[in-house]
Structure 1
Amino acid sequence: MIGCLCIHGFTGSPYEVEPLVDFLKEHTNWEIAAPTLPGHGETLQLKGVRYKDWIKHAEEELKKLMKRCETVYVIGFSMGGLIAAYLAVNYPVKKLVLLSAAAYYVNPKQLAADIGKMVKDTFRGELQNNDLFLRYKKKIKDTPISATFQFRTLVSNIRPILEKIEIPTFIAQGEADGIVPSKSAKYIYEKIGTEHKNIKYIKKSGHMICHCDENEELFSDILEFLSLETGTNLNKRLMNNYK
């Protein structure tokens, strides 16, 4: 039996990876787990929650899968990508998928473009129809400064261990991501120790990469990567996207 753990991002929920989870359930007989990290979900309750609580919860979910499955893969989105990387270093995970993984965060150029669009929508009286504004206004309001500090501490603690990743790894990054810049994917690709690594850039995707218009091709590439013995053949094709 194959198990696959999918980890969402900071201030997020399993909704962030839900399209990929549904795709894997439709095309495989794997056991898929997409837990909600402490303090996260539809209603944020992050006050007093520490980054170690997020890691511990992910560890517990991984251990449950490992008891039932001979082979386990881990997929992480945004902050969940950093947690997934930690798990890959410390547990016998077979393959790793990192989606918009936040080794770096906030893309100033794209963020400025997104804010510019919000300003234009404000003057047009259409701000309440701006998806980005609607998605993040409540998160910003409900996220205490202490939680942001915990997120940054998690990133600073996990970045140094990326070089210890020795398993096949697939990295995907949206070029129009206003939260995590493209240099984050490049940094991870160059930093991780494994020789079996693939990278894919999606030109029009924002941060919510699992919900982008090109997600069907992305999901097919992820499934192919996880199904191949080493991912070498996929690597040759995807290297055309590497910058």
Structure 2
Amino acid sequence: MPLLPGAEPYRHEGGEVGVLLCHGFTGSPQSLRPWAAYLAERGHTVSLPLLPGHGTRWEDMQLTGWQDWYAEVDRALRDLRDRCERVVVAGLSMGGTLALRLAAKHGEDVAGVMVVNPANKVHGVSASALPVLRHVVRTTRGITGDIAQGGVEVGYDRVPLHAANSLRTFYRMVDGELPQVTQPLLVLRSAHDHVVPAADTARILSRVSSTDVTEIVLEQSCHVATLDHDANRIFEESLGFMDRLATGAGREGTTAGG
């Protein structure tokens, strides 16, 4: 099945610091490609894989679940660890949740975590009915394209409910694993997110065991902040975070920034 234009995975061989970027549910690498290119241009090795079932048509995603998506980023992390001295994991939305699980499971093999609007729960009145509803209704309306400045996010305009039910299971599982996250953590949250509520970030921050935590509020962006008004802020803050990890400068507590 041909890929949607822009949905191609991205890879750049750079220096000894590697970055793994994870895209979101029903999205594609296109949403993170500018971030990946920014870090690559500054000498880092970058891996931005395409998750199974994504980037083609929603019917393909109907055949996949969280085990497939996580296995892909787990493989990409192991590949980076073989090539790089230090690896940081990052992600948008569900991609942020994938990054958090990688940190929980891989411990010292992950030097730091950077997440943008990370998700912790499937929201909506029908979320609890997904185990049954997915056998009656195949899809619901899509969630891509929440960008304040306009523009396009390459992804699906429908959400397959079989995959959404698997996502619900994944979020509940990762919530239980969050106390295993001890790495330095950078969280960037949009003030006007119409997909993932601020409560998800608050829940994640209350559950992780990291003591080096920075939270930044992106005042001008919606959910896909990596393609929005605050994109450059995300890129610059992530580079500064990675530079600080490289120098070993520590930070205690949580910092909120506008």
Q: TM-score, normalised by structure 2?
A: 0.76
C-alpha distance 231-221 of structure 1, shift in aligned 2 (>3 A):
farther
Classify the secondary structure of the residue corresponding to 1:221. Answer: helix
Classify the secondary structure of the residue corresponding to 1:139. Answer: coil
Partner residue of 2:13?
Answer: none
Query: Counterparts of 1:187-206 in structure 2 under 5 Å?
Result: 187-206=203-222
The question of whether the paired residues in 2 share the 8 Å contact of 1:105 and 1:184 is answered with: no
Query: Counterparts of 1:67-216 in structure 2 under 5 Å?
Result: 67-91=82-106, 92-106=109-123, 132=146, 139-141=156-158, 143-216=159-232
Partner residue of 2:76?
Answer: 61
Q: Does 1:31 align with 2:48?
A: no
Q: Deviations over 1:187-224 (max 9, x none)?
A: 21222101001101111211101011122122111110
Partner residue of 1:218?
Answer: 234
C-alpha distance 30-80 of structure 1, shift in aligned 2 (>3 A):
same
- Please identify, of 73-82 and 38-47, the stretch whose mean Cα deviation from structure 2 is larger: 38-47
Q: Distance in 1 between matches of 2:157 and 2:24?
A: 14
Partner residue of 1:7?
Answer: 22
Partner residue of 1:113?
Answer: none
Q: Distance in 1 between matches of 2:222 and 2:123?
A: 12
Query: Counterparts of 1:222-241 in structure 2 under 5 Å?
Result: 222-229=238-245, 232=250, 239-241=255-257
Classify the secondary structure of the residue corresponding to 2:255. Answer: helix
- What do you get for the CA RMSD once the two structures are aligned? 2.6
Q: CA deviation at 1:43?
A: 3.2
Classify the secondary structure of the residue corresponding to 1:9. Answer: coil
Q: Distance in 1 between matches of 2:48 and 2:206?
A: 28
Classify the secondary structure of the residue corresponding to 1:228. Answer: helix
Q: Distance in 1 between matches of 2:31 and 2:161?
A: 22
Where does the alignment leave 5 or more consecutive residues of structure 2 unmatched? Answer: 1-15, 126-144
Classify the secondary structure of the residue corresponding to 1:72. Answer: strand
Report the count of equivalent residues: 216
The question of whether the paired residues in 1 share the 8 Å contact of 2:217 and 2:256 is answered with: no
C-alpha distance 205-47 of structure 1, shift in aligned 2 (>3 A):
same
Identity of aligned residues (%): 24
- Higher strand share goes to which structure? 2
The question of whether the paired residues in 2 share the 8 Å contact of 1:82 and 1:103 is answered with: yes
Q: TM-score, normalised by structure 1?
A: 0.81
C-alpha distance 107-174 of structure 1, shift in aligned 2 (>3 A):
farther
C-alpha distance 66-13 of structure 1, shift in aligned 2 (>3 A):
same
